[in-house]
Amino acid sequence: MKKELIKGNEAVVKAAILAGCTHYFGYPITPASEIAQAAAHFFPLIGGTFVQAESEVAAINMVYGAASAGRRTMTASSGPGLSLKQEGISYLAGAELPSVIVDVMRAGPGLGNIWPEQGDYNQMVKGGGHGNYKNIVLAPNSAQEMCDFTILAFELSDHYRCTAVVLTDGSIGQTMEPVEFPDHVKPAPAKDWAVRGDAETRKNLVSSIYMSTETLRALNERLQKKYAEIEAREQRWEDYRDDDAELVIVAYGVTSRVAENAIEELRRKGLKVGMLRPKTLFPFPKKRLQELAAGRVRRFLVAEMSNGQMIDDVKLAIEHKKPVDFYGTYGGKLPAVEEIVDAVETAYNRQS
């Protein structure tokens, strides 16, 4: 393993190349622009393809084309850019094409500002585009996980023939930390369904349009079966001091790192607090939350840099068996340790 001090955004690009990705299509937007910049530098060096498209709409459709040809391909953007890509993302789902998308979230709505937020949760986890589809969504909380989850995203995307999203925030993307990279490139698997413009693949057809109700119904039923399999097999999470916790914080991304420090302070005050950090937002780690709710945990608190977009998933996972409180920040402001401590102490007062 080679260790390097590197930004999370740049770690994504090196990880993608090590995962066998050969094609990057994108359009720059803060706070994700370092991804495009690094891709413009590194992809040509490996004989790959980098294209700065004329728009986000063009970029996502270029991803569709490269994925149809069986290439490992990716794009990256932030909230406003991802809004423009949603139609293409739905087309990728309808055609069952593997691809990787990195969303480095910024504050909104509208153009908002360039500071980190977590307001794209509903957009990326719940679909965002039209139709009955889901994306696998991975939520890193460090530059190391920006590397690791990008590699994992390509593996899961190819295995399930769907889009995998690395959903991060401006803080993690811009943070420079030591990252250990694999020491070899993992070749992409051969794809017998791809269209390569030769006689062998002439029979293959990649499309998201189905002109009969029965064939479209069959596609949707197959997709739902696939998503159910993903939910059963791919839930990932991290436990943090929740083995004896009476109150569990649920947080992801940079918020989870702030929550870790808050938990240490709360523990020094004698409060039994832990954290469940989802590493996958779809599939959501329902199994672990249900285990916690069935045990000694008396209350949950969701901490997000949003208006509480994850809280409904927590409530549904625990089947409303325990109270769920919320603390959120807006506008690109990271929560302070003291703010989460205060929110937890308030919740403790409610249960005592």
More confident residue, 324 or 186: 324
How high does pLDDT run on average in the chain? Answer: 96
The pLDDT value recorded for residue 352 is 52
**Which has the closest alpha carbon to 118: 341, 338, 351, 302?**
302
pTM for this model (two decimals): 0.97
Name the DSSP letter for residue 96.
T
Name the DSSP letter for residue 16.
H
d(CA 325, CA 316): 14
Residue 97 makes CB contacts below 8 A (sequence gap 6+) with 64, 67, 68, 161, 163, 206
pLDDT in tens, 219-277: 999 999 999 999 999 999 999 999 999 999 999 999 999 999 999 999 999 999 999 99
How much is the average pLDDT of 1-26? 96
Q: How confident is the model at residue 350 (pLDDT cuts 50, 70, 90)?
A: confident
The pLDDT value recorded for residue 334 is 95
Domains and CATH numbers, the chain: 2-233 (3.40.50.970), 237-351 (3.40.50.920)
Q: What is the DSSP string of 310-324?
A: SHHHHHHHTTT-S-E
How many contiguous H segments (helices) and E segments (strands) does the chain have?
12, 15
pLDDT in tens, 61-86: 999 999 999 999 999 999 999 999 99
The pLDDT value recorded for residue 349 is 84
pLDDT in tens, 150-180: 999 999 999 999 999 999 999 999 999 999 9
How much is the average pLDDT of 134-145? 98
Helix, strand, coil percentages (3-state) for the chain, rounded to 5, are 45, 20, 35
The pLDDT value recorded for residue 135 is 98
